[in-house]
Structure 1
Amino acid sequence: MMELINNLDLLKTAFNAAPNGIAVLKSLYTTKNKIEDFSVLLFNDYFINWINNEDYKEKRFSKVFSKIGGNTILEKCIETAETGITSHFEQCYDDERGNHWLKFTAVMQDELVVVTMEDITEKKHAENELNNALIEAEKQKRLYNSIINGTPDLVYVFDLDYKFTYANKALLTMWGKSAEEAIGRGLIENGYEDWHAEMHEKEIDTVVAEKKAIRGTVSFPHAELGRRIYDYIFVPVFNEKGEVELVVGTTRDITESKQAEEKLQQSESRFRKMIHQTPAPTLVLKGDDLIIEQINKQMLQMIGRGEEIIGMRLIDVLPELEGQYVWEQVLKVYNEGIPFDQSEVLVPHNRTGELKNYYYNLTYRPLIEEGQITGMIQVAVEVTEQVEARQKMEKSENRFRALVNASSDLVYRMDADWMVMQSLEGGGRLSGTGGHSVNWLDKFVHPSDLEQAVHLISKSIVEKSIFEMEHRIIKEDDSVRWVFSRVVPILDEKEKIVEWFGAASDITSQKELQNVIAESEEKFRQLADLVPQIIWTAQPDGFVDYFNSRWYEYTDLNEHEFGDSSWVPALHPDDVYDVLRTWYQSVNAGSSYQMEFRLKNGISKEYHWFLSKALPIRDKEGIITNWFGTCTDIHEQKSITEKLEILVADRTKELQRSNDDLQQFAHVASHDLKEPVRKIKTFVSRLENHLENQLDESTTRYVERIHVAADRMFTMIDGVLAYSKINADSQKATIVDLNEVIKSIETDLEISLQKTGGNIYYQELPVIEGASVLLYQLFYNLINNSIKFAKENVPPLITINAKEQIEGGRRTAVITVEDNGIGFDLDQTGRIFETFTRLNSKDRYEGTGLGLSLCKKIAERHGGNITATGIADKGAVFSITLPFEQREKDI
């Protein structure tokens, strides 16, 4: 009994723990013994929680399940009870929480029906999402195929055996093959040349090995267009293990862009010049911050600013544009590369000190370099007066009239034979059609352009291609405007043209701008032809592409011959190598070019000397856009210069002889002058001895003065000799420690320092290049002067300091020598270094007046200088500037 109870408890626990609902039902019969419903005998906890009612026993099943609605569940359970066949079915119902799905299983067990219920709502939702995802994936696949096969770029896939596993429509067209003929075959089998196939196979190997993309450029033939230039990229496709299983490639035809690059480089510099010469207010913006790189005077006048705004952000110059429609268009053009052309745009901004409304015809174009948008060009023509006048007129005529024709473009449609043109909304003013049907050729093409238009129309009809043409139209007021027409054929399912859809844009302003640029180039050439010099220009690689008329007049060469082959033959044979080497060194280095050479006159066959100069013209990024050069005839100046050089050489020799004679004279004079002075001292000494004890006080004083004068004469003669030798004797530059120099001077002046009680203070003086003997003499004279010109009863105090500075790009030592002596007046500063200058009485202070002159000479010979400042009775400060390194090894 106990075991039975335990088993029942276990069964009940399992019954209630089931993750799904379980119900035990008993059949209820009609009087005709037909099952009409069920009595609920037992629900597990899942069902009880689901119906939220524990009072369920003996109640009808249809009533308990009434919240689901419908009879499907009851019918399925009755079917199982009557047939004994297990039923599996799903039922959906809605409540305040949303849509729910339930899965039921009805099983006959003896006389009872056991129903299990599972909530499959999440599963159903997942299935729906999966189905939706599959539908979206299929849609994306169709979109992908449309894009891949609609692009003019070549798209393809290689397996690791270099076989094509996919090729889009553009590639198959280029090969002239179908997919069946091309897929599964290699490069050579699809018409690639051997070198081309080998190159791509190696690149595929590289992609697989390095697991990264590679990019390149190649030229090969197109089935219809001939040889073209292509830019391509190979990208690895990885499997779930991270291994490369395929290589995807895309190739783009860049033939036209390559050709355009060359033309762009030739015209870029002229374009910059034209910006400033165009009559329309124009500016160029560069970089993400939209910096003003170029702006012509018309634009500066229009916004009321000067050239100081070049290099500033446009939004900083005109902050009131922030948030305006025009600023949004500026950002859109730069960020998306979509050109913007619009007339009569309202732009409130501060031009005269207050915010006012202005109207402009605006043209914005992105500047694209190497496929990237790097800036934009803006052309703005103010039309405020015209707009305000027209607005007043329109307001007076009809305030509520819609401006359906405000667009500057005319949009129209035509029949298949290109005969009847019907304009749509917009552009009525441009065409003058007024919305009526007209003949396109009769009403929309200038007679001068009619023949070309007919030819292009016929070609487009035959080829079912897009028609594009720039042409003139005659408006109703007989004025002529330029337009750009683009007309697209509309084809039916049989590829038959059913009609044409076209648009025409007014490009009169662009045409006028092109004319201005062409006229400006012509003016440049006319001006260049008026200049007496030869003027030429060259491309960045040094290829000469222009000469003015002076070149052809001098050389007698045919016009329009450029490059090395046109000007090198005119050079003197001895100058050819040096000229070419120097010119192409300048081209490679991007530095200015200057050289003298000889050119042959085409008529007289004589060679004249010319001075040639050239400068590289660079854009804002520093890239050379072209070269501008001149050649000036210097033949006469060259002859005069050669004569002057001979004359200078002769004069130099004479000056050298004169210096040698003066040097010899200084030595002879010093020795000859010393002899009579020596005799004076000798005979004065003998006279003293002879008249010993016989001289009175006055006579003794006179004799002492004769001795002093003679000694001063000796000193002066030695000073003159030293001063003359300072420029004559060269010294070798060596490493000189100024600390050791001052230490030696201290030793030599030891007696004078002890006698006066003087002191010299210095530390951490620099080590420099120089002549040791001369530097010793420089600082000896300065320190000796400080001792000599000390104040009475005041011990001399001499302080020497040094610091380092950069002067003229060289490391320089600045050394100051400061004392506490008698000093000098500031107005004497300019005289202190002059030869034989004495600021104090020679009777009170010894000296020749040459010491500071020697100091000045020594400092200058070292590539430095010396200055002095002082205050009377307060001391003096001498400042010596000396370079750390000497440029010459002989001083």
Structure 2
Amino acid sequence: MELTDNKDLFQNIFNAASNGIGVMRPLYNKKKVVEDFTLLLFNDYSFKWIGDVDYKGKLFSEIFPSVKENGILEKFIETAQTGNTANFEEWYSIKDINYCFRFTAVIQSDVLVVTAKDVTEKKQSELTLSDALAAAEKQKRLYDSIINNTPDLVYVFDLDYRFTYANKALLTMWGKSAEDSIGYGLRENGYEEWHALMHEREIDKVVATKKSIRGTVSFPHAELGRRVYDYIFAPVINDDGEVEAIAGTTRDITEIKQAEEKLQIGESRLRSMIDQTPAPTLILKGDDLVIEQINKHMLQMIGRGEEIIGMPLIDVLPELEGQYVWTQVQNVYNKGIPFNQSEVYVPHNRTGEIRDYYYNLAYRPLIEDGQITGMIQVAVEVTEQVLARKKLEESESRFRALVNASSDVVYSMNADWTVMRSLDGGSFNAGNNIVNWLEKYITPNNQEKVLELIAQSVEDKSIFELEHKVPNPDGSFRWAFSRAVPILDQNGDIIEWFGASNDVTSEKEVQEVIRESEEKFRQLADLVPQIIWTSEPDGFVDYYNKRWYEYTCFEENQTGDQSWIPLLHPDDVPFVVGNWYKSIESGNSYQLEFRLKNGKTGEYRWFLSKAVPITDKNGVISKWFGTCTDIHEQKSITEKLEILVDERTKELQRSNADLQQFAHVASHDLKEPVRKIKTFTSRLEDHLQDGLDATSAKYMDRIHVAADRMFNMIDGVLAYSKINAYLQKPTLVDLNDVLKSIETDLEVSLQKSDGKIIYHDLPIVEGALVLLYQLFYNLINNSIKFAKEGTPPKITISSEIIEDKALIKVEDNGIGFDSVQDEKIFETFTRLNPKDRYEGTGLGLSLCKKIAERHEGNITASGTAGNGATFSITLPLKQTQKDI
């Protein structure tokens, strides 16, 4: 029967179906290939999706245009051509809503019957379930990744204290696998008894209280050694509210603990640094700006004691309220704006009344965790400098008078250095004429280089300094040191230069003499068998004599730490280097024995190394002078000791003789150029006779004074070096007789200064007469030399016997010295006063100290600036040594 014979029956069957059903007839092209379908019939359920449309006789792809894109049409065509039933699911969009259908296509006679079941909800459920399973699996992977890659230890206990879980970090710490660990207790996993008992008690407590507990413990890690851990035990509670397991996490806090310790050390160092800084400094904390820390310099400046620590700054200095400086303090704390300003005017109460002060101030906020918690203040008082500058500004005429009285050339220069105007009457004076500085004062072959230096100073707006030759009309030249300062306008542009030039010809000549003397020193040093070396104040070795290069086989002029440390025996390196830099830090003399590698043989030999600091007139170390003496034979085996000691003694005697000869030759060679300076200066004076003007005569006098001072210095050095050269037998010395001889020798000085020496009943002591004479002569001569202007010197010498020693005091009424210099004055070449007012070499008191120590005694000094000085000498009445 034809499908369409009974349409009513057929339509009723269609409409009763719970799925969409459609009947389509294949549409063939000329090649008998199905291209599309003609729609014949749809049941009522189908209209749920296609709507009320006139579909009969129309093409399938026309009513459902998307079937070509999603492959539905292609699969229906395949069924029509092959007769194979199609059964598939596909998504289809109807009115912008996506539906998923399960299609069944069957070819029946010459028509295609298609059943479409809506499986959208089922498909969405499946997708949702699939997504949920994927998300859960991803979450599990994420959880496993986090737990097993975290450095923290993660684990779970059951109620019998057995591990039911342990992450990778914990297994690594144990050095075990999960199979060997899970299901076992604390002890089986390597915990010590005390450790296991402690955790079992804590697990019991968590079960009983249902609350977490936290603790810190130290125990060994399988790879990292002993570590410190912070741990938490938390209850795992089931639906019935009972604890079914205990979860734990443990974190390695070893580095945190170490960091906390370092932080505490850092804070301690910070406090120490603030206490020791020379600038007045304080730290304020909190909204009330309470003084948390303050150094002694700030306390002295404020005029208060440590009782102010813990008080708000405004309570300590209430007069600051409303002042400019207090506003800046608040800006720093409230806004975090740093404050730097010089010469800030701050009236406040330091001495019991409000006075005007000026300070250079620097304020910085203290920031912790991004928040301002306080501030640090540094204040340097510059009141005296400001007042002095103001006075200077108010006395321009006196300044010009001072400039005109100067022996230097003082001048002003236009911005590009083409025009120079002299401001004074110096030796290079151009008079009232305007000149070109470069052409007049720079030799032609140096002008290009000087132009480059000037251009650089102009670009940088920096001070110009230059030591240069000045041509003379006769073709000769002089040396000058020129210094020019740029003067800026309010926009920071250079408007002119202010400069001065000083004739340094005589200084250059003296420098040349000194250079020649240094060269002779190096030549003489190369003759000494010991290694001789010098270093900078920071310990950098900058000179060796030839003996060093002969021993080490180094190339000459190879200096510095890398030239000697690698040659030390490895066992000696820490000890030697540590002690050497400790001496550099403390300024104390250095003496050590160590082994040095011979560059030729490769053997290590023992050396005795000594070094002493050389200080300037202010006591600051300017150089280290050292020697290294080969003492290898002294370190040989016991049976050869006496022979080696005898040989070394002779060698040292020869060395001492060489050193004495070196000192003698050095002093002679150093005197020779000084003699020539004095000789040729005298000849020049005789040659010129009355042709010398006042300035030239003054320069001649300066040369004489400098040469005499150098002569005295050389004699002083020689005397100081020779004091240990000869030993003397002790004899009984009456100090009263010594003082009488000194009075006679200083008769002229005493009469000239109207000075007096008062002494009586001085003791008789054993000692070397010549040395004791020199000791008291130097002290009394110093008292006369350092007398106060207009006050006759008065020297009082008293004594008392304490047990078996004599205490002699030498007191004067001279200029005295600051008490902080008590120890420094005995150092070699130390001068506390300017050499242009008080003659001397700086060796006298160091000689006194050496003489006292050779007599098994000592000498100390005390004084007050402007109120005289007292020297206390302690000498034994009887010597225990055979030779002095």
Please, what TM-score do these two structures have when normalized by structure 1? 0.30
